[in-house]
Amino acid sequence: MPVKVAMVSLASCWGCYQSLLDNHEALLDILPELDILFWHVVTDFKYKDLEGYKDGSIDVGIVEGVCRTEEDVHILKTLRKKCKTLISLGSCSTYGGIYGLLNLSTMDEALKRKFTEAESLEEPSIPDEDVPKMLDFLIPNRKIVNFEIFLPGCPVTSQNIKDALVGLLKGELPPPPNRTLCDECPREKSEVITIKQLKRDYEGIPDPKKCLLEQGYICMGPATREGCGALCTKAGMPCRGCYGPGPNVIDQGAKMISALGSIVDYEAISPEELVEKVGDVAGTFYNFFLPSGIVSKTVRKAK
Ligand code: SF4
Ligand code: SF4
């Protein structure tokens, strides 16, 4: 009997479902095994269709995106009730993702910026009719409902999705990763690293074989879990941390700041220069993880 599946998109860019579709002909082996009961971003399902299923009657639910509105929370909770197994697809759903950087602003500030201040606006106004109520701050999905399986990544790779679906169908999921990206990365690393200079991604041409962090590029590999196949570092780009924290790491950004702090030669580069060179601290170290971090949002004192 085909496995009954329901898929939802909350606040997301649709990149993770795109990655699922990027499996192309490999889907021909998987799709006949699935009975897709709900996928509202692909065809004309309504929320009442999902609400109409009996609790626990759907085998697998897949969640892309994070809750920005009360409607998102309702859909997430409804899916949890209907499904036996829930998969978190991508870093938005797993950690809060890039959308989580909105936690650096209040919702009022964010709405004002988007709808009244953005340079491209022709008729600035904040919509207030027929729109769901926005949440004040973004909290990770797993603090709202439980998940059985997490597939982080921005986007999660097609291979990871295929492995998880095939594993589910066979009843033997791939083991969870237990190493950092540095363990998966083929670049040559020294026993002891000292950085005398920090570089942005666009500065210079990196040595094609040596560890990027050793060359001064901020590569999040030491604080990030394996799983992506080191796609970026193999292509000469430093890891941005989209797979989230490595094993036993509570706060990905704090881990990377600590790692960086311990390998910088402070006679060659001062702490002030380091901070200036990094520039956007949250965007660099917490790009995908802010709402899951120890400090998950901007806190302001009441005036
Ligand atoms: S994790 Fe990345 S690719 Fe996936 S929905 Fe979020 S922003 Fe898009
Ligand atoms: S720091 Fe980056 S480039 Fe260096 S080994 Fe780790 S993942 Fe690879």
| Confidence at 302, pLDDT banded by 50, 70, 90 | low
Please tell me if the CB atom of residue 16 comes closer than 6 angstroms to any atom of ligand 1: yes
The two tokens of residue 79 are 């899916």
Place of tokens 């990196």: 206
In this prediction, residues 110-135 reach a mean pLDDT of 93
Query: Does any ligand 1 atom lie closer than 6 A to the CB of residue 244?
Result: no
pLDDT at 174: 84
> What are 33's two structure tokens?
């095994």
Pocket test for ligand 1, best of 9, 20, 64, 243 (most atoms within 8 A of CB): 64
Residue 74: how many other CB atoms lie within 10 Å = 14
Cβ-Cβ contacts under 8 Å for 277 (sequence gap 6 or more): 198, 200, 269
Nearest ligand for residue 226 CA: 2
Share of the chain above pLDDT 70, in %: 98
Residue 103, pLDDT above cutoff 90: yes
**For ligand 1, what atom is nearest to the CA of residue 153?**
1
Residues of the chain with CATH 3.40.50.700: 3-170
How do residues 147-178 score in pLDDT, each as one tens digit? 999 999 999 999 999 999 999 999 888 888 89
Report the percent of the chain where pLDDT is more than 90.
90
Please indicate whether residue 7, judged by its CB atom, sits closer than 6 Å to ligand 1.
no
Structure tokens at 254: 């704090």
For domain 3-170, the CATH class is alpha beta
Res. 29: pLDDT tops 80: yes
Report which ligand 2 atom has the smallest distance to the Cα of 238: 2
Q: What is the mean pLDDT of residues 177-182?
A: 95
Closest ligand to C-alpha of residue 243 is: 1
Nearest by Cα to 290 from 302, 279, 299: 299
The per-residue pLDDT for 177 is 87
pLDDT-derived band at 303, boundaries 50, 70, 90 = low
**pLDDT, tens digit, 9 for 90 and up, residues 190-219:** 999 999 999 988 999 999 999 999 999 999
Residue 87, ligand 2, Cβ within 6 A: no
pLDDT value at position 297? 85
Long-range contacts of 261-268, Cβ-Cβ distance < 8 Å, separation of 24 or more: 263/193, 263/194, 263/195, 263/213, 264/194, 264/195, 264/198, 265/194, 265/195, 265/196, 268/196, 268/197
Q: Which of 66, 102, 154, 160 to mutate to test the pocket of ligand 1 (most atoms within 8 A of CB)?
A: 154
- Tell me the pLDDT of the chain averaged across its residues: 94
pTM of the model: 0.94
Q: Which ligand is nearest to the CA of 207?
A: 2
